[in-house]
Structure 1
Amino acid sequence: MKEVAKYLIKIDAEFVDGKIVTEIPYEEVMRLVNEPNIVIIKTGIPQETLAKVIKGTRQWASKTPLTEAPDTFDNNQHKHRLHIAKIQQAPQLFHDHTFDALLDLEPAFQQTLLSIFDPMRNLWNSLTGNDEAFGIRKGEAYFHPQVTHYPLGGSFFGRHWHPLNPQKVGLILALNQYGKDYTSGGTGYVINDHIIETEGFQDSGDLLLFRYDLPHWVSPSSFADRFSWEDPAGRWVSILPFYNPWGTPADKDEPQGWKTQIQQAKHAPSVAVA
């Protein structure tokens, strides 16, 4: 475990039988997230597995018409997100692939996605004390697996936030490599009025964890590049939200409870960072 910047900690892990096994207990990982810190786990997921997810997602999208209708949260779709969120007024520009009906996908592609989403699900369950499976449950919280592409030339996601519960901890898995596959754009956060930019810190296969109610954003990719929806270049990530689409949305005002959490953490026993 190593603190690489203020509020930014890297943790080693092993990828064993399809599970992410961290070098410190899951309870300690969650404590670090809740202090709060941004925690980056070196998962060890094979690079060929990550590349297969990108390739499979692109092949699936090439055969699946773009969705322009409002989200129904009960299907598999991909959409060019290009609008401003009504409640939080967060502008966004990225290509979203959402697999709410993951279990209905063609078996080969389903297994390709599960090669990353199952380890993410198992880790989230271990961190939060849950035992949730994939599947749509109307009126309840459930997983919404997503593969997101931020094309070169100005894609981004403006500053926004989420209710802390029931997600508790957000997960962002890097599917490709900063400095090789893309050279600009990363997830940023605010902790105790301090800006944390993860651009350049998250390598391919790294899983970024964060307390879910922290204000955060995705910085723009460089405008020096020509924008294209069709060009696969750019940042690719997978995320695993867990929420009830028909539940209470995030408030229009940024949450401030995490500041209280910071004050509480100052009086808690510290964990040595080596």
Structure 2
Amino acid sequence: MKEVAKYLIKVDAEFKDGRIVPEIPYEEVMRLVNEPNIVIIKTGIPETTLRSVITTTRAWADSTPLAEGPDTFDNNQHKQRLHIAKIQQAPQLFHDHTFDALLDLDESTRQTLLSVFNPMRQFWNDLTGNNEEYGIRKGQPYFHPQVTHYPLGGSFFGRHWHPLNPQKVGTILALNQYGKDYTSGGTGYVINDHIVETEGYQDMGDIILFRYDLPHWVSPSSFADRFSWDDPAGRWVAILPFYDPWAKPADKDEPQGWKAQIQTAKNTSPEVAV
């Protein structure tokens, strides 16, 4: 475990029998997240596995018409998101692939996506003490696996936030490599009025963990590049939200209650290696 910047901690892990096993107990990982910190888990998921998810997602999207209407949260779809969220007023520009009905995909596509989403699901369960499986359950929270592409040339996701529960901890898995596949764009956060930028700190196979009610965003990719929806270059991530899409959405005002609710435990925290 190593603190690499203020509020930014890297934790080594082993990828063993399809599970992500961190060097410290899951309870300790969650304590670090809730202090709060941004925790980057070095999962060890093989590069071939990660890149196959990108290749498979692109092939699936090539054979699947773009979604145009409102999200139904009960299918598999991809959408070129270019709008401003009504409640939070967060502008968006990215290509989103959402697999709410993941189990309904053809065998090859399903198994390739599950090669990362099953370890992510189990890891989230281990962190939160849950035992959730995939499947749509209207009126209840369920998983919404997503593969998101941020093309070169100005893609981004504006500052936004989520209710803390039932997700508790957000998960962002890097499917490709900063400095090689893309050179700009990363997820940023606000902790105690301090800006935490993860650009350049997250490598392929790393999972960013964050307390789910922290305000956060994805910084723009460089406008020096020409934007194209069809160019696969750019940042690719897999995320695993867990929520009830018909429940009360996030408030229009940023959540600041966590500042008073969270105890930093500075005097009781074990020393972090630097």
Query: TM-score normalized by structure 2?
Result: 0.99
1:199 maps to what in 2?
Answer: 199
1:5 maps to what in 2?
Answer: 5
2:249 maps to what in 1?
Answer: 249
Paired AA for residue 271 in structure 2 = A
Task: Determine what percentage of the aligned residue pairs are the same residue.
Answer: 82
In structure 2, relative to structure 1, the CA distance for the partners of 1:5 and 1:101 (3 Å cut) is same
Alignment of 1:147-186 (within 5 A): 147-186=147-186
Q: Number of matched residues?
A: 273
Cα deviation per residue 1:113-150 (whole Å; 9 max; x = unaligned)?
Answer: 00000000001001101000000001100000000000
Separation of aligned partners in 2, 1:24 and 1:200: 24
- The secondary structure found in structure 2 opposite 1:266 is coil
Paired AA for residue 106 in structure 2 = E
Give the gaps of 5 or more residues in structure 2: none
2:219 maps to what in 1?
Answer: 219
Separation of aligned partners in 2, 1:272 and 1:107: 47
Moved over 6 A (4+): none
Separation of aligned partners in 2, 1:120 and 1:250: 24
Separation of aligned partners in 2, 1:258 and 1:183: 33
Cα deviation per residue 1:50-102 (whole Å; 9 max; x = unaligned)?
Answer: 00000000000000000001000000000000000000000000000000000
1:266 maps to what in 2?
Answer: 265
Give the gaps of 5 or more residues in structure 1: none
C-alpha displacement at 1:258, in angstroms?
Answer: 1.9
2:81 maps to what in 1?
Answer: 81
Separation of aligned partners in 1, 2:42 and 2:261: 26
- Is this contact kept in 2: 1:36–1:258, CA < 8 A? no
Separation of aligned partners in 1, 2:260 and 2:29: 19
- Is this contact kept in 2: 1:186–1:197, CA < 8 A? yes
C-alpha displacement at 1:268, in angstroms?
Answer: 5.9
C-alpha displacement at 1:257, in angstroms?
Answer: 2.0
1:132 maps to what in 2?
Answer: 132
- Is this contact kept in 2: 1:34–1:261, CA < 8 A? no
What root-mean-square deviation, in Å, do the aligned CA atoms of Structure 1 and Structure 2 show?
Answer: 0.8
Query: TM-score normalized by structure 1?
Result: 0.99
1:29 maps to what in 2?
Answer: 29
- The secondary structure found in structure 2 opposite 1:253 is coil
Separation of aligned partners in 2, 1:241 and 1:260: 25
Cα deviation per residue 1:151-175 (whole Å; 9 max; x = unaligned)?
Answer: 0000000000000000000000000
1:52 maps to what in 2?
Answer: 52
Paired AA for residue 151 in structure 2 = P
Separation of aligned partners in 1, 2:240 and 2:267: 30
- The secondary structure found in structure 1 opposite 2:59 is helix
Paired AA for residue 240 in structure 2 = L
